[in-house]
Amino acid sequence: MSTSQDTVSLDVRLNLTLLAYTAALTILTTLLFGLAPALRALRAPVHPLLKEGTHQLAGSRVSSRALLVIQVALSLLLVSEATLFLRTFRGLLSVDLGFDADRVLIASVQPGRVGLKGEAAAQFYRDLQTRVRALPGVEAVSASSMSPIQNCCWWEVMTIDGYKPAPGEKADAFLNSVAPEFFRTMGTRLLQGRYFDARETSGSKAVAIVNASFAKRFFPNGSALGRILALPSDYKARPMEIVGIVEDARYSDLRGPTRLAVYFPLSQAPDLPSLVEVLVRTPGPPLALTSWVRREIHGFSPAMPVKFRSLAQEVAGGLTYERLLALLSAFFGGVALALAAIGLYGILSYAVTRRTNEIGVRIALGASRASVLWLVMRQSLALVLTGLAIGCAAAVYLTRFVKTLLFGVKPADPMTFAVAASVLGAVALLAAWLPARRAASVDPMRALRYE
């Protein structure tokens, strides 16, 4: 048996050292990027500028457009990554859990901490379920050695009657000891046979329930009901007869394949677990029952440790990394969109201002407003398309490195790139349309006098 529990802890308190470092880096970056155009302006010859006005900054225009193309390409990379992670998170949310996570309260209790062991602990669980079941607003009560999606697992190689493993094959399965009404409390459907009930005691016939994947794997041509399973000999447990088959449920994670699972009665467990999850289904908010259930538990022993959470919180906790990744990538993707739009708007606004005389002459000679609008938009369209092409090529190459973080979507997914390119293109063209519209509305008489 092995367990693991991963947590994510974020310290969002103000860190003066980090703030000072960020401020220094920002100032340094501003100075470095402002120094290059300043030095170029100092080296520029004076006589051509005096003779030809302010139209000798072609090199500056080329470099600014090149930077904008790079910015659009990087923006597309960030937006496509954000789209992939958002689709991954959405795909995980739509996974069939095999149980109903809504309205279930989980209470983790450890009777061993207060000296209850063996039959005394077993009696405690039975009495606790009886008392909690009598509380108002309780639909069902049960218990299990572990709850779903908690990154815990109990795996063992099973001996299966009538099944001969292939060379090197291990007939291992996830194990969980549960009390009666467990599947009803969890909302897991029975496919064949029966549930556990009060007949299962330490002295009765040992029984087990398996999930659909287990039955399909080891008994593809016949029914699993009535077959015999056995734990390894060091458990000193009796062979168990399969009396029921339930639908598959997710227990260790949402990403991997459905695990083969075997459930056996908590009352027949070889060793009673030191920690047991008490499950309570209610028609209302599950955490509203916390004080009532705590009162019943402390009625047996005021010193007994107990922790509460809802099953929905347990499932949400299994998606912590994916949720954080989706939120961060969406944030940076949004920032990238905003920066690309601002950059394109600034460059085209500057270009329109510098070409005011030219635009005025065109309009005075009969150019239509639509042709002037298209003149400016064509320039922005070329920049955007070039950036999108470079960004798509970079995204196709780089997204393969995040393949292990994705679920339900391929790294080089055409739909993802199409959506990202469409969103970025629309934002960029909207930013370009504003200076283009201003150019098309230039008064030719004022433009001809413009310096």
- The one-letter amino acid code at 110 reads Q
Cα-to-chain-centroid distance, residue 183: 27
The confidence band for 359, taking pLDDT boundaries of 50, 70 and 90, is: confident
Residues pairing with 142 in the sheet: 279
Under a CB-based contact definition with an 8 Å cutoff, are residues 277 and 178 in contact?
A: no
User: Tens of pLDDT along 164-174?
Assistant: 777 877 778 88
Query: How many residues are present in the chain?
Result: 451
d(CA 286, CA 312): 9
Q: Which residue has the tokens 């995040």?
A: 402
Q: Which residue has the tokens 């969002």?
A: 12
Q: What is the pTM of this model?
A: 0.75
Question: Which residues are CB-contacts of 177 (< 8 A; sequence separation ≥ 6)?
Answer: 144, 145, 263, 264, 265, 266, 268, 269, 273
Give the residue ranges of DSSP H helices in 355-448: 356-364, 369-398, 414-440, 444-448
d(CA 217, CA 399): 35
The confidence band for 361, taking pLDDT boundaries of 50, 70 and 90, is: confident
- If you average pLDDT over residues 276-285, what whole number do you get? 91
The confidence band for 55, taking pLDDT boundaries of 50, 70 and 90, is: very low
Under a CB-based contact definition with an 8 Å cutoff, are residues 444 and 363 in contact?
A: yes
The confidence band for 53, taking pLDDT boundaries of 50, 70 and 90, is: very low
Q: Work out the mean pLDDT of the chain and round it to a whole number.
A: 82
- The one-letter amino acid code at 207 reads V
Number of neighbours of residue 200 by Cβ within 10 angstroms:
19
**CA proximity to 227, closest of 217, 239, 237, 235:** 239
Number of H helices, E strands in the chain: 13, 14
Question: Which residues are CB-contacts of 430 (< 8 A; sequence separation ≥ 6)?
Answer: 341
**CA proximity to 187, closest of 232, 145, 140, 146:** 140
